[in-house]
């Protein structure tokens, strides 16, 4: 069942169109992520859902009903911002209870009971009387999450909630957020510029670029079958080679001095994408000669920056790469065609 | 019966009460949502009724009969002096100018030691407007001369009390000008401190009241702190590393000052000078009290015309004066726009004022200069206030609490009861505060949140600042007080209500200017979080923003209260028989000399005004302190 729908929504600020003809369906209980570089329109899309912005064209629907003109306070959404936005003049408990001034706690709970339950949920039981300023960034963000969830919203909106935290904390909080989300089974829209975070946490991902949706799919689909050059380059590391078909209706592509065999039929203007981990120095297929320029040690693997006739080629291998001139190759089934 | 209702009935009952509570909440939510638009609309309505409409009637009066009143003023030699020819007979102007130039004589002689050259020319009649501009120009020069060294000392030297002195420069905004008059009369009057000192020294008395010099000095007292304040903050924003860069590139200290520091000070100096000119062009109580009608400026003459019921002339004067002040305010805003914002860099380091290095001759000279300046400042600023407080207790020779008791007594047969004035002032202050605070906060909310409301809010806000109190008072007098025809009924508002409304209109811009900067510093996400949690816009303002900006609200309230207690210009026209306040009573003691003995009660009342001013200053400085003119 669809719980949240954007239908051909456009929003412009002066001359710049932040969101252009965006259509999305978010299913009930789904963890849906909007990912893209800064300025791609993902935050504006979230604000359109929350009701802080009104679309210039198109429609936003909650459970099938249009919410055009409905102010944010009547939309039953919970929102968490990157800056936490905790009310500095209220204690942790007062922050969490704020939304309960306007909506009754679900299932006839008392306000205090609801606050205690939510602080328990985010592992902050006992922090009721603290001031937000006394808490660490991660703790503040969990209070913000508890506050957004307290009134029992239909939709949870998360606007880059972890960007202000350090990497290790971010990973821990990510797991916790995902766990809470699936426990409550709440429809969630998550905005991030971090594609690895998007892949790790989401049920489905929408990749946005310059105000438009490039691709919607599961993390696996988006990673393995990118629908556009932008998606191929934005989601994960990738090597993208522009080539020409060797023959009509064939399965080989000419790139520079090499010819690559692929599994799909090639139409005109063929672009071949090969992930760094699919390239091997000892592969018998689709070989081409490169020069290894530098090697980084990553702990569990090596990453080699190579040069092939002026193209940059990125390789990730378990074994230590050779230096100087070398030959790379990849299996036909590991290449994607655009 | 209960049993008959049973489980089903109870369920139904729960459903009904649930529905009722939901409906009640929805209704409350709706009401909530109306709060901001309603207060906003009420603000506009109040402004419309007590500001825009009255001022409009003045303009209508001035432009009535094919603008005859304005033309009469423009073509009059009395109002425009030699310049009236421009309007009366423009074709003759070139000839007149040539004739004047032809009568300029250059005289040259040889005194035996050196050549002696002088120029003689026929006097140019200035007229009322010319004189007003002339005294404003003199006052501006005096204010800059008195204020600029202060900026140098405050910005470049460190000494105990520096911060307090700097904070004190905000005082002119809340200091009642009629109180300054009381202070100057207590100092320079025929029985004032100055003559007391002269008599003690065996010297003859001097009579400096009712001269241009004392008016200019009072204007400098009032406006020099403004110059100091604006230039100091510009000086403190100069980035030390820019000066250091200039020095490292080969500039001498003087050259670095000229090339790096001075260009950053000039806009602030120009802005403060223009503001001083506007204030002294529209000056009223100081000239009325210290100059009288023989030194009348446009504003004083306008007041006199209103008192004489010469409505057409008054309207024409009000219109022309407003045109001048709006033009100058525009110039000021241009300069203000060029003033640098908060300094990002490292400020210039301050020298210790009291660590004297005997071998440093230049340093010693500079310090001697500062000491001299400190004496002048103490004389100009402290003498009037000290003299006033002293005069309120009868001076050194005749210590008495008579004048303080006088404030509380009922004066038989007097039209001006001091106790009534004190009570009115405080009541009106509270009333104006109650009106100005919500008005100011709502306008600040619209102004700070940007969007479509912003430009409108800013314009609505600036207008009452640029129109003088006398013009507003005159407009209210001839519209609201004399009565307005509404649907066939003659409606007239008198006394306290009008005065409170006028005070609120004068005070609310200061609430806005204190609250708006703090509001715009509040993270938008806080409001958005509150709204997503179910709060209406008004509720979010009340629950989240106001608790965070209360220092600004408090400072704004202190401003509004102090301004109301000290307001003179509009009040003196609107007060009438019963709604007079302390400043009006002060004027009746000092200027009319009709309401009883002069300096004593005036000084006691002035001291109360000083106390209110000082208290509001402490509030502004301790909690707010972000105000920028």
- A171 min Cα distance to partner chain B (Å): 24
Same domain, A132 and A53: yes
Cβ of B536 and A81 within 8 Å?
Answer: no
Mark whether A195 and A257 lie in a shared domain.
no
Radius of gyration (C-alpha) of chain B in whole angstroms: 29
Tokens of B42: 């009420």
Contact of A67 with chain B, judged by CB distance below 8 Å, is answered with no
Task: Supply the pLDDT for residue A49.
Answer: 94
Distance between CA atoms of B444 and B520, rounded to whole angstroms?
A: 9
* Residue B256 vs residues B212, B261, B341: alpha-carbon distances, Å: 40, 7, 21
Closest chain B C-alpha to A78 CA, distance in angstroms: 6
Which residue do the tokens 């500095």 mark? A88
Task: Quote the domain boundaries for residue A14.
Answer: 2-231
What count of residues does chain B have? 629
User: Does B32 contact chain A (CB < 8 Å)?
Assistant: no
Average pLDDT over residues B20-36: 66
User: 3-state SS of chain B: helix, strand, coil percent to 5?
Assistant: 75, 5, 20
B528 interface with A at CB cutoff 8 Å: yes
The CATH code of the domain that includes A328 is: 2.40.50.140
Count of CB atoms within 10 A of residue A197's CB? 19
B259 touches A at CB < 8 Å: no
Second-level CATH architecture of B76-81+128-392? Orthogonal Bundle (1.10)
Same domain for A78 and A222? yes
**Token pair for residue A22?**
């965006």
Of all residues in chain B, the percent with pLDDT exceeding 90 is: 15
**Residue B20 has what pLDDT?**
66
B208-227 pLDDT, tens digit each: 888 899 999 999 998 999 99
Q: What is the pLDDT of residue B460?
A: 67
3-state secondary structure of A251: coil
User: How far from B439 is each of A264, A272, B433, B508, B534, CA to CA, in Å?
Assistant: 70, 65, 10, 7, 25
Query: A81-95, B46-60, B112-126 — which is least confidently predicted?
Result: B112-126
A107 touches chain B (CB under 8 A): no
Contact by Cβ (8 Å): B605, B418? yes
Distance CA(B219)–CA(B295), nearest Å, equals: 14
Q: Which chain A residues contact residue B529 at CB under 8 A?
A: 79, 81, 85, 87, 144, 147-148
Q: Is the pLDDT of residue A28 over 60?
A: yes
| Residue B2 pLDDT greater than 70, yes or no | no
Give B-chain residues touching A77 at CB under 8 angstroms. Answer: 532
Is B416:B593 a contact under the CB 8 Å cutoff?
A: no
Q: How confident is the model at residue B449 (pLDDT cuts 50, 70, 90)?
A: low
Do residues A212 and A303 share a domain?
no
Residues A268-324 have pLDDT tens digits of 668 899 999 999 998 888 999 999 999 999 999 999 999 998 899 999 999 899 988
Determine the distance in angstroms separating the CA of A145 from the nearest CA of chain B, rounded to an integer. 11
Q: Are strands A252-255 and A258-261 parallel, antiparallel or unpaired?
A: antiparallel
Contacts of B199 (CB under 8 A, 6+ apart): B205
CATH number at residue A85: 3.40.50.300
* pLDDT per residue as tens digits for the range B364-374: 888 889 999 99
By the CB < 8 Å criterion, does A144 face chain B?
A: yes
Of the three residues A210, A231, A252, the one that is the final residue of a domain is A231
d(CA B48, CA B501): 11
Q: End-to-end distance of chain B based on CA atoms, in angstroms?
A: 73
Tell me if chain A has a CB within 8 Å of the CB of B612. Answer: no
Test A73 with B536 for CB contact under 8 angstroms. Answer: yes
Q: Name the residue with tokens 């019963």.
A: B578
C-beta atoms surrounding B355 within 10 Å: 10
How does DSSP assign B46-102, residue by residue? HHIIIIIHHHHHHHHHHHHHHHHHHHHHHT-HHHHGGGGHHHH-GGGHHHHHHHHHH
Share of chain B above pLDDT 70, in %: 85
Give the three-state DSSP class for A240: strand
Question: Residue B312: is it exposed, middle or buried by C-beta count within 10 angstroms (0-12/13-18/19+)?
Answer: middle
Question: Is the separation of the CB atoms in B68 and B81 below 8 Å?
Answer: no
Domain match, A198 and A330 both? no
A214 with A248, same domain?
no
- Beta carbons of A50 and B532 less than 8 Å apart: yes
State chain B's mean pLDDT as an integer: 82
SS3 A5: strand
Residue B18: closest C-alpha in chain A: A104
Find the closest chain A residue to B534 by CA distance. A73
Which one of B37, B532, B539, B540 makes the best mutation probe of the A interface by having the most chain A beta carbons within 10 Å?
A: B532
- Assigned token pair, B474: 């005159």
Residue ranges with strand state E in B231-343: none
Tokens at B585, concatenated: 């009573």
Domain boundary among A231, A262, A287: A231
Q: Taking CB atoms and an 8 Å limit, are A79 and B532 in contact across chains? A: yes
Tokens 């505060």 belong to B433
Q: Which CATH number fits domain B32-56+413-629: 1.10.3720.10, 3.30.70.20, 3.40.50.720, 3.90.550.10?
A: 1.10.3720.10
Which residue, A281, A282, A288, is CA-closest to A315? Answer: A281
pLDDT band of B603, cuts 50, 70, 90: confident
Least confident of B7-21, B446-460, B502-516, B571-585: B7-21
In this structure, the answer to whether residues A137 and A193 fall within a common structural domain is yes
Asked if A81 and B528 come within 8 Å (Cβ–Cβ), the reply is yes
Q: Which residue of B has its CA nearest to A104?
A: B22
- Cα angle for residues B496, B502, B504 (degrees, 5° grid): 100
CB contact under 8 A, B528 and A78: no
Least confident of A50-64, A292-306, B185-199: B185-199
Q: Is A73 on the interface with B (CB under 8 A)?
A: yes
pLDDT in tens, B368-427: 899 999 999 988 888 899 988 888 887 777 777 877 887 777 665 667 777 888 889 989
Considering only CB atoms, A99 lies closest to which of B528, B533, B547, namely B533
Does position B486 have pLDDT exceeding 90, yes or no? no
| A295 sits in which H/E element | strand A288-297
Indicate whether A137 and A252 sit together in one domain.
no
- Cβ <8 Å between A72 and B532: yes
Q: What is the mean pLDDT of residues B586-597?
A: 68
Q: Do A87 and B526 touch (CB under 8 A)?
A: yes
Assess whether A98 and A247 both reside in one domain.
Answer: no
Rounded to the nearest angstrom, the minimum Cα separation between A154 and chain B is 12
Closest approach of A197 to chain B, Cα-based (Å): 23
What total number of domains does chain A contain?
A: 2
Would the pTM of this model clear 0.90, i.e. be above it? no
Domain boundary among A179, A208, A231: A231
Q: Are residues A98 and A202 in the same domain?
A: yes
Structure tokens at B318: 């009000």
Nearest to A73 among B526, B531, B547 (CB): B531
With CA atoms as reference, the chain B residue closest to A49 would be B532
Q: Is the pLDDT of residue B155 over 80?
A: yes
| B46 or A296, which is more confident | A296
My answer on whether A26 and A172 are in the same domain is: yes
Q: Compute the average pLDDT of residues B128-132.
A: 89
- Pairing mode, strands A335-337 and A270-274: antiparallel
- DSSP classification of residue B350: P
Same-domain check for residues A34 and A174? yes
pLDDT at A267 over 80: no
The set of long-range contacts for A99-102, using a CB threshold of 8 Å and a minimum separation of 24, is: A99/A147, A99/A148, A99/A150, A99/A151, A99/B533, A99/B534, A100/A150, A100/A151, A101/B534, A101/B535, A102/A73, A102/A151, A102/B25, A102/B29, A102/B533, A102/B534, A102/B535, A102/B539
Query: Per-residue b/e over A151-168, b at no fewer than 16 CB within 10 Å?
Result: bbbebbbbbbbbebbeee
- Dihedral sign, Cα of residue A132, residue A133, residue A134, residue A139: positive
Strands A187-192 and A155-159 turn out to be: parallel
Q: Could you report how far apart the first and last alpha carbons of chain A are, in Å?
A: 32
Q: What is the pLDDT of residue B38?
A: 85
Asked whether the predicted pLDDT for residue B483 surpasses 80, the reply is no
Average confidence (pLDDT) over B242-259: 86
Give the 3-state secondary structure of residue B484.
strand
Q: Is there a contact between A102 and B534 if contact means CB atoms under 8 Å apart? A: yes
């Amino acid at each position: 069942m669809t719980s949240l729908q954007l239908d051909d929504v456009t929003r412009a600020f002066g001359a710049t169109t932040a969101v252009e003809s965006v259509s999305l369906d978010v299913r009930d209980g789904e963890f849906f992520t909007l990912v893209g570089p800064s300025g791609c329109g993902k935050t504006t899309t979230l604000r359109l859902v929350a009701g802080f912005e009104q679309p210039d064209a198109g429609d936003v629907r909650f459970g099938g009903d249009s919410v055009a003109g409905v102010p944010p306070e009547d939309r039953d959404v919970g929102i968490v911002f990157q800056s936490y936005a905790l009310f500095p003049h209220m204690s942790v408990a007062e922050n969490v209870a704020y939304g309960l001034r306007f909506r009754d706690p679900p299932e006839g709970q008392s306000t205090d009971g609801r606050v205690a339950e939510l602080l328990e949920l985010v592992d902050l039981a006992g922090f009721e009387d603290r001031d937000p300023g006394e808490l660490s960034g991660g703790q503040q963000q969990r209070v913000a999450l508890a506050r957004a969830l307290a009134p029992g919203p239909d939709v949870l909106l998360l606007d880059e909630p972890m960007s202000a935290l350090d990497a290790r904390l971010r990973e821990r909080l990510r797991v916790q957020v995902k766990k809470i989300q699936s426990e409550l089974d709440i429809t969630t829209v998550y905005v991030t510029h971090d594609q690895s975070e998007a892949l790790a946490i989401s049920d489905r991902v929408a990749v946005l670029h310059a105000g438009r949706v490039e691709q919607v799919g599961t993390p696996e689909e988006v990673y393995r079958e990118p629908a556009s050059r932008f998606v191929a380059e934005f989601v994960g590391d990738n090597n993208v080679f522009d080539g020409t078909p060797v023959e009509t209706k064939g399965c080989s592509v000419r790139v520079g001095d090499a010819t690559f065999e692929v599994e799909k039929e090639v139409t005109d203007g063929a672009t071949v994408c090969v992930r760094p981990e699919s390239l091997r120095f000892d592969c018998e297929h689709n070989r081409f000669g490169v020069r290894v320029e530098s090697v980084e040690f990553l702990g569990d693997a090596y990453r080699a920056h190579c040069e092939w006739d002026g193209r940059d080629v990125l390789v990730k291998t378990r074994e230590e790469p050779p230096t100087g001139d070398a030959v790379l190759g990849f299996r036909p089934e590991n290449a994607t065609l655009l | 019966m209960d049993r008959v209702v049973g489980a089903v009935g109870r369920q139904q009952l729960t459903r009904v009460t649930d529905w009722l509570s939901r409906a009640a909440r929805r209704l409350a939510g709706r009401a909530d949502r109306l709060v901001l638009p309603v207060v906003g609309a009420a603000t506009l309505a109040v402004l419309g009724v007590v500001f825009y409409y009255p001022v409009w009637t003045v303009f209508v009066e001035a432009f009535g009969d094919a603008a005859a009143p304005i033309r009469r003023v423009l073509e009059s030699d009395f109002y425009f002096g030699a310049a009236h020819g421009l309007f009366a007979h423009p074709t003759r102007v070139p000839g007149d100018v040539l004739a004047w130039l032809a009568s300029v004589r250059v005289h040259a002689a040889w005194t035996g030691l050196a050549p002696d050259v002088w120029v003689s020319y026929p006097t140019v009649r200035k007229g009322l407007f010319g004189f007003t501009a002339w005294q404003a120009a003199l006052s501006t020069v005096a204010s800059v001369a008195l204020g600029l060294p202060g900026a140098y000392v405050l910005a470049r030297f460190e000494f105990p009390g520096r911060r307090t002195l700097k904070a004190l420069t905000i005082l002119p905004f809340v200091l009642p000008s009629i109180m300054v008059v009381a202070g100057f009369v207590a100092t320079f009057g025929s029985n004032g401190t100055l003559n007391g000192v002269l008599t003690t020294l065996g010297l003859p008395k001097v009579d400096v009241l009712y001269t241009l010099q004392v008016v200019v000095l009072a204007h400098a007292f009032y406006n020099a702190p403004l110059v100091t304040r604006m230039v100091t903050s510009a000086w403190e924003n100069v980035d030390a590393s820019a000066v250091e860069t200039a020095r490292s590139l080969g500039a001498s200290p003087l050259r670095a000052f000229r090339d790096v520091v001075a260009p950053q000070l000039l806009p602030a100096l120009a802005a403060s000078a223009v503001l001083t000119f506007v204030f002294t062009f529209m000056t009223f109580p100081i000239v009325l009290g210290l100059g009288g009608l023989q030194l009348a400026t446009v504003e004083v003459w306008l007041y006199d015309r209103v008192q004489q019921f010469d409505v057409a002339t008054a309207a024409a004067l009000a219109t022309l004066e407003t045109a001048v002040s709006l033009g100058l305010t525009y110039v000021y805003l241009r300069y203000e726009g060029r003033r640098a914002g908060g300094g990002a860099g490292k400020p210039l380091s301050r020298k210790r004022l009291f660590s004297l290095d005997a071998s440093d001759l230049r340093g010693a000279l500079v310090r001697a200069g500062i000491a001299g300046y400190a004496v002048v400042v103490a004389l100009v600023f402290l003498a009037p206030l000290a003299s006033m407080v002293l005069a309120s207790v009868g001076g050194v020779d005749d210590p008495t609490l008579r004048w303080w008791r006088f404030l509380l007594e009922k004066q038989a047969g007097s039209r001006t009861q001091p106790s009534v004035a004190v009570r009115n002032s405080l009541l009106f202050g509270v009333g104006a505060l109650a009106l100005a605070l919500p008005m100011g906060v709502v306008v600040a909310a619209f102004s700070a949140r940007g969007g479509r409301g912003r430009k409108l809010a800013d314009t609505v806000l600036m207008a009452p600042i640029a129109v003088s109190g006398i013009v507003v008072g005159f407009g209210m007098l001839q519209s609201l007080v004399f009565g307005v025809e509404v649907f066939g009924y003659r409606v007239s508002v008198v006394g306290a209500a009008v005065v409170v409304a006028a005070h609120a209109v004068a005070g609310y811009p200061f609430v806005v200017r204190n609250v708006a900067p703090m509001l715009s510093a509040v993270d938008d996400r806080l409001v958005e979080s509150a709204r997503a949690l179910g709060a209406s816009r008004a509720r979010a303002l009340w629950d989240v923003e106001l608790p965070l900006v209360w220092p600004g609200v408090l400072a704004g309230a202190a401003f509004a209260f102090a301004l109301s207690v000290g307001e003179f210009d509009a009040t003196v026209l609107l007060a009438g028989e019963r709604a007079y306040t302390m400043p009006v009573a002060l004027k009746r003691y000092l200027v009319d000399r009709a309401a009883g003995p002069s300096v004593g009660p005036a000084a006691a009342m002035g001291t109360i005004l000083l106390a209110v001013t000082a208290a509001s200053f402490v509030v502004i400085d301790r909690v707010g302190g972000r105000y920028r003119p």
